[in-house]
Structure 1
Amino acid sequence: MDWCKRKKSGALVKKQRLVRGRERGEILLEELIECCDGKSNPIKFFSADDILKATDNLSECTCVSKLFGHGKWYSGMLDSHRTILVKKLWRGHPDYPRDFYRGARDIAISSMVSGHKNFMKLVGCCLEFRFPVIVYYDAKKQYCRLDLQLMLLSWNKRMKIAEEIATALAYLHTAFSRPLIYRNMYIQNILLGEDGVAKLTDFSNCVLIPQGETFVKLGFRCVGGDYDYMDDNYMINGLVSEKTDVFSFGSLMQKLLTGEERFREFYGRDDWKILEKRKFPNWLSKSIGEGRIDEIVDLKMLEKMGEVSEEERCRMKAFLFLSERCIGLRGEVPKMVQVVKELRNSSSGL
């Protein structure tokens, strides 16, 4: 009798998964049509059984602990013996279609950028679990979140990461018929592969700029990202444009230079929720110019560098000046393509 009950229960779960998959497939199709202008992108749809088999039933031993963030990551292997990374989302309420749209957008845009070296290579997805699952090719590389590795990284490596993430953002802004605004800049969303290449992940908060427009207005509830990555126009008015990403990238640059701990000391996370306290101190660049870099630069990084040469000091100063231009402290805010160009020029010869 117990065996019969278990069999019926298992059949019911499978039926519920199939129904859920069909309903969510319609939402994903809507996102693909909106984001991809109706163009076809190769996305493989996995069943729940496929995912469970590949990851040993999503067991703890397959969890990739260094990738935890806004989803839970697992390593696995397909029947073709190709290794994969599986991200199981868990934000929002999985039973409401409106909350699934963010996961669907992540999948849709991942399919658009999959061929670029600074994004993860998408294999497909599974829509049958309570929370959607996204599958990426692992290529037998180990990945780790940038925030967990930052204190171990050299100055040259940090500059390279900045250039690669700037390249990723510039690609989102220019590679498609309408600019894609990332607007979800967390340092936790940047993964580092064992080959040292930085990859930007999580497109759940991406927005498209309407044809012929330069910005889009969102309601406050739609605002995503951390406070220290938000420019005033975005935080106060809900206006999203390419400058939204440029500002957040400037903030990221300063974190790369100062380290997260020191960045928090300078600004204070809670203060950034109070508009009159949302100010970057201008004395940062002055301190570097006067040689007092130990007051600003990540001390862990300085320990690795030993004595800082005049050439490295100049690079740090240029890096900081560019970050200040990005956040609007020094004249006109540059486009991301210009930021990439200047970072490449600064790092040439490294």
Structure 2
Amino acid sequence: MDWWKKKMSRAVVKKERLARGQRRGEMFLKELIQCCDGKTNPIKFFSADQILKATERYFCKCKILERSQNVCECSRISQLLLQGKWYSGTLDNHRMILVKKMLGRNPNPPRDICSGPPKDIAMSSLVSGHKNFMTLVGCCLEFEYPVLVYYGAEKQYSPIDLKVVVSWRKRMKIAEEVAIALAYLHNVFPRPFVYRNMGFKNILLDEDGVAKLIDLSYCVSIPKGETFVKLTWAGRDYDYMDDDYLFNKVVSEKTDVFGFGIFMQKLLTGEERFDELCGWKNWRGQNGWKNWRGQKFQNGCPNQLEREEWMRL
């Protein structure tokens, strides 16, 4: 009787995975049409069983690894504090891959947040041919949180460590390559895309020192004939936000220019020292933050999204 229960349980899990994949497939196609105007690089859709097989079932142990906060022993990316966990694997054709499992995201975010996995998948398929972005192979939509699959597991990847990247030449090379990646988003497509997710945590260096911009889930396109777009949610990384974006939720190409300027200064001066010079943290702890928050509450009770955001600050 136990074998029958196990069989039925596996059947239920498989059915749930297929239903989840269909729902998310619809979301992905909508994002693809909206972002790409029907012009994209073809990607492959993997099943959950294919991902588990490619990673030698290390992927199914991710919950244990999350609790212990250890990096999986088969991961090719060391000590990353990113929105996800990374694993290496091998496809049936013996091609090595990197598998990124998204974590800590709301699977059904508000539309204008543009931070859901479908956005990341759609945008990654657009830019995967550029050397300063990861090469996307495909995705799997059957897990609780979507999975992205990249080529490039043959190389070692690491986040930017200012204690290791000491020479001016290396730092300027990183800055130049990040600027090239942002310019690619702004200028190559019919409608410019604003990255609006600048930060050290979203930049990887491969073993050759080439900078890779990752996590495109916050990208937003500027409508034709317009120079900006207004959102109702700005994000959380305030160090890289200009005033118009932070207070008015106005996003334009200038948003990325300002964020890149902050990144450039942190890269050249050292992050810890620049945090002391940056007025945001001091201003936030003084009357400026309290006054601004008080003005927001004078207009009435904030909605649930704003309340949750303020609670995290």
Which TM class, normalised by the smaller chain length? 0.7 to 0.9
Deviation, 1:94, is: 3.0
For 1:83, the equivalent position in structure 2 comes to 96
Q: Distance in 2 between matches of 1:254 and 1:192?
A: 19
1:132 to 143, 146, 154: 146
For 1:264, the equivalent position in structure 2 comes to 275
Deviation, 1:92, is: 2.4
For 2:37, the equivalent position in structure 1 comes to 37
Q: Distance in 2 between matches of 1:211 and 1:133?
A: 32
Q: What amino acid is aligned across from residue 115 of structure 1 in structure 2?
A: G
Q: What amino acid is aligned across from residue 223 of structure 1 in structure 2?
A: A
Q: What amino acid is aligned across from residue 119 of structure 1 in structure 2?
A: F
For 1:114, the equivalent position in structure 2 comes to 128
Normalising to structure 2: TM-score of the pair?
0.82
Given that 2:109 and 2:116 are in contact with CA atoms closer than 8 Å, whether structure 1 keeps it comes out as no
Q: Distance in 1 between matches of 2:49 and 2:280?
A: 43
Do structure 1's residue 248 and structure 2's residue 274 form an aligned pair? no
1:289-343 Cα offsets, whole Å, 9 max, x none, are: xxxxxxxxxxxxxxxxxxxxxxxxxxxxxxxxxxxxxxxxxxxxxxxxxxxxxxx
Change in CA separation of 1:175 and 1:215 when aligned onto 2, cut-off 3 Å: same
For 1:332, the equivalent position in structure 2 comes to none
Given that 2:114 and 2:217 are in contact with CA atoms closer than 8 Å, whether structure 1 keeps it comes out as no
Q: What amino acid is aligned across from residue 95 of structure 2 in structure 1?
A: R
For 1:200, the equivalent position in structure 2 comes to 213
Q: Distance in 1 between matches of 2:286 and 2:155?
A: 42
Q: What amino acid is aligned across from residue 53 of structure 1 in structure 2?
A: K
Q: Secondary structure at the match of 1:261?
A: helix
1:227 to 238, 243, 266: 238
Q: Distance in 1 between matches of 2:256 and 2:126?
A: 19
Q: Distance in 2 between matches of 1:242 and 1:275?
A: 30
Q: Distance in 2 between matches of 1:234 and 1:274?
A: 20
Q: Distance in 2 between matches of 1:94 and 1:209?
A: 24
Q: Secondary structure at the match of 1:26?
A: helix
Q: Distance in 1 between matches of 2:158 and 2:163?
A: 13
Change in CA separation of 1:225 and 1:198 when aligned onto 2, cut-off 3 Å: farther
For 2:50, the equivalent position in structure 1 comes to 50
For 1:151, the equivalent position in structure 2 comes to 163
Q: Distance in 1 between matches of 2:273 and 2:94?
A: 44
Q: Which runs of 5+ in 2 are unaligned?
A: 62-71, 290-313
1:56-114 Cα offsets, whole Å, 9 max, x none, are: 22143323443341111111111111111111111323367968961100000000000
For 1:4, the equivalent position in structure 2 comes to 4
Larger radius of gyration: 1
| Sequence identity percentage | 63
Q: Distance in 2 between matches of 1:30 and 1:271?
A: 42
Q: Secondary structure at the match of 1:67?
A: coil
For 2:21, the equivalent position in structure 1 comes to 21
Q: Distance in 2 between matches of 1:246 and 1:45?
A: 35
Given that 2:181 and 2:213 are in contact with CA atoms closer than 8 Å, whether structure 1 keeps it comes out as yes
Change in CA separation of 1:103 and 1:275 when aligned onto 2, cut-off 3 Å: farther
Q: Distance in 1 between matches of 2:134 and 2:219?
A: 16
Worse overlay, 262-271 or 114-123: 262-271
For 2:85, the equivalent position in structure 1 comes to 72
Change in CA separation of 1:56 and 1:137 when aligned onto 2, cut-off 3 Å: same
Q: What amino acid is aligned across from residue 202 of structure 1 in structure 2?
A: D
Q: Distance in 1 between matches of 2:84 and 2:22?
A: 22
Change in CA separation of 1:96 and 1:200 when aligned onto 2, cut-off 3 Å: closer
For 1:61, the equivalent position in structure 2 comes to 73
Change in CA separation of 1:19 and 1:206 when aligned onto 2, cut-off 3 Å: same
RMSD: 2.1
For 2:195, the equivalent position in structure 1 comes to 182
Change in CA separation of 1:48 and 1:96 when aligned onto 2, cut-off 3 Å: farther
Given that 1:72 and 1:89 are in contact with CA atoms closer than 8 Å, whether structure 2 keeps it comes out as yes
Deviation, 1:155, is: 1.2
Q: Which runs of 5+ in 1 are unaligned?
A: 279-350
Given that 1:67 and 1:143 are in contact with CA atoms closer than 8 Å, whether structure 2 keeps it comes out as no
Q: What amino acid is aligned across from residue 193 of structure 1 in structure 2?
A: D
Given that 1:184 and 1:225 are in contact with CA atoms closer than 8 Å, whether structure 2 keeps it comes out as no
Q: Distance in 2 between matches of 1:209 and 1:157?
A: 33
1:168 to 153, 176, 181: 181
Deviation, 1:120, is: 0.3
2:116 to 98, 102, 117: 102
Structure holding more helix per residue: 1
Given that 1:28 and 1:101 are in contact with CA atoms closer than 8 Å, whether structure 2 keeps it comes out as no
Normalising to structure 1: TM-score of the pair?
0.74
